[in-house]
Amino acid sequence: MCGIIGYIGNRNAAEVLVRGLHKLEYRGYDSAGICVFSKGHLDVIKTKGRLDKLEQRLSGTSLESTLGLGHTRWATHGEPNDINSHPHLSQNGKIAVVHNGIIENYRQIKEFLCDKGVEFQSETDTEVIAQLLAYHYKGDVMRALMTTLGELEGAYALGVMCADYPDEFFAARKDSPLIIGLGKGENFIASDIPAILEYTRDIIIMEDREIVHITRGQAKLYDLLGKTVKRGVFHVDWDAEAAEKGGYEHFMIKEISEEPRAVRAAISPRIRDGLIDTGLSALSDNWVRNIKKIHIIACGTAYHAGLVGKYAIEKVARIPVEADLASEFRYREPIVRKGDLAVVISQSGETLDTLMGLREARKRGAKILSIVNVVGSSIARESDAVIYTWAGPEISVCSTKAYNTQLAALFSLAYDLGFRKGKLSFAGMMAAAKSLLGLPELIEKVLLNREIIQKFSAQHFNAQSVFYIGRGIDFALSSEGSLKLKEISYIHSEAYAGGELKHGTIALIEKGTLVICPITQDNLLEKTLSNVREVKARGAVVMAVTPERLAGAVSDVADAVITIPDTDSIFAPIIAVTPLQLFAYYVSVMRGNDVDKPRNLAKSVTVE
């Protein structure tokens, strides 16, 4: 959560910071602010609300500065208001700090500083960092920073300026993402690459417990003891336009439209000579053949992809799989043994709960295979092997193409594991590879039908409550459909396993309740149709999503049927999710919501 940016160079810092913050606003948008070095002191301008409010405040000011820090906030400590907004200044006005993360021992530090006579302005944990830095500062910021970081518990990506240092700034990270951008005569820090991509493509990805000292001419990395650290430069080869709306009204619809390309990019590099190879041999063939159990660890949409992955891996590779919400896994004393594989799924690669789940699994003896979109992210770096999903930047808070590509990776993994474990014939593997390669074209066909979904959305955008029901892999898919809808439409929605309805939930079905039902599995058709009949008998209106081959049977029972092209039933969720995403999208647009920045949410959840 929260986006930070820092700049030093020859451009107008305020302009660079605000442009960068626009690219980071998906990370949090409760409030925004900047601090620039101006006429010998630190000038802070910050406000509650979106960036346009900050821009209003800035218009009319003439901030002639070439050094500054910026922040866009997702509130954790203290409500979103002007005072709690970042940057935070120390009481003496010497130190300014922007922060992403949570300082767990901030109360103790605050008490300590209050006893020393420090007066706090805000309710934030971040102000504690600024005040503690000022307390330790005796003319050497680097030294004060090392001492301060040694006393902080929790997660941070920090940008730090000091009024006595007109030509430099500092940054540090632990468990929250931070990159350094290297320009010519100018340098940057940012929470994410798109913020600085219009200025430079040369990036250093900071590691945990590192400090960087940045001037116009260089960025020097240190560990927390002040020892120099050497790190390679990563050249970004994707286009800045990939992170722009490119003529679409919202990032979400742009990203849904990119699904065929993204899935193609996720699958095709893994198919060689007709066989699927996900790079598992990085873990050694023998080790892979002997995997006893798989633990899938993820949050939100990535977790829902993991639920589909559980079905696929158990079915194809016959290895027992447990799928856990990362936030639960960590604290439930999971039984993980040496020889187990943890599959950690994350679009951002920075979700703190997932990262902590990864560490917990490793501590307990598992090897880690991650399925990640953002190259070089923390989760990718801490894994034994990585399957990159190659979805390209996903900006909309509501995750779409990342899910399809996570499924592509999980299906590939299921077949790769199955083949290596001897559960699958050569012919079976070749057939699966062929089907996987055909999926992008099928998603393209679904996208051609978007108007039908738009019309259906127009009939239901005022719904009070929407249920998603499905059986087997369709239940996992329903969970994702329901999350999409509630996240951006703010309509109450739940997903239930079809067979579970009669154990309580069916009491909520009344005349006119909308029920959305993916029916993609031939072997569960009749059972699911019985569930559709049960809810229809109580007055529900049912929209089904089903492949062409089942459409006849389904349309006899459901009120509306969205057909998707036929494919092997195991792969159906990768196609069937698109209509569910489109439905949520159109409903959100029709309700006048901010589709890409839904209330109370942020893209990258780097706090617990």
Task: Kindly list the catalytic residues.
Answer: 2, 603
Order of strands across the sheet with 492-497? Answer: 492-497, 465-470, 514-518, 541-547, 560-564
The SS3 of residue 569 is helix
DSSP code, position 240: G
Shorter beta-carbon distance to ligand M6R: residue 187 or 377: 377
**Minimal distance in Å, beta carbon 352 to ligand M6R?**
9
What is the 3-class SS of 96-109, one letter each residue? Answer: EEEEECCECCHHHH
**Alpha-carbon gap, residue 28 to 579, rounded angstroms:** 28
Shorter beta-carbon distance to ligand M6R: residue 492 or 538: 492
**Minimal distance in Å, beta carbon 344 to ligand M6R?**
9
Phi, psi values for residue 98, rounded to 5°: -115, 150
Shorter beta-carbon distance to ligand M6R: residue 346 or 569: 346
**Minimal distance in Å, beta carbon 587 to ligand M6R?**
15
Nearest Cα to Cα of residue 86 among 204, 178, 6? 6
**Minimal distance in Å, beta carbon 228 to ligand M6R?**
32
**Minimal distance in Å, beta carbon 397 to ligand M6R?**
5
**Minimal distance in Å, beta carbon 375 to ligand M6R?**
14
**Alpha-carbon gap, residue 520 to 567, rounded angstroms:** 9
| Amino acid code (one letter) for 205 | I
**Alpha-carbon gap, residue 365 to 361, rounded angstroms:** 6
Shorter beta-carbon distance to ligand M6R: residue 406 or 457: 406
| Amino acid code (one letter) for 24 | L
Shorter beta-carbon distance to ligand M6R: residue 189 or 398: 398
Nearest Cα to Cα of residue 474 among 513, 522, 416, 510? 522
| Residue 324 host element (H or E) | strand 321-325
Helices and strands in the chain: count of H runs, count of E runs: 19, 26
Strands 541-547 and 514-518: parallel
The SS3 of residue 196 is coil
Phi, psi values for residue 205, rounded to 5°: -90, 120
| Residue 467 host element (H or E) | strand 465-470
Shorter beta-carbon distance to ligand M6R: residue 113 or 584: 584
Residue that has been written with the tokens 């003496």 in this structure = 92
Q: How many CB atoms lie within 10 A of CB 139?
A: 8
Cross-strand pairs, 205: 179
- Report the interface residues with ligand M6R, using CB under 6 A: 299-302, 346-348, 351, 354, 397-399, 483, 487, 604-605
Nearest Cα to Cα of residue 261 among 436, 440, 445? 440
Shorter beta-carbon distance to ligand M6R: residue 347 or 520: 347
**Minimal distance in Å, beta carbon 588 to ligand M6R?**
12
Shorter beta-carbon distance to ligand M6R: residue 319 or 483: 483
Instruction: Give the DSSP letter string of 480-549.
Output: HHHHHHHHHH--EEEEEEGGGGGGTGGGG--TT-EEEEE---GGGHHHHHHHHHHHHHTT-EEEEEEEHH
Shorter beta-carbon distance to ligand M6R: residue 134 or 299: 299
Cis peptide before 87 (omega within 30 of 0): yes
**Minimal distance in Å, beta carbon 351 to ligand M6R?**
3
**Minimal distance in Å, beta carbon 77 to ligand M6R?**
20
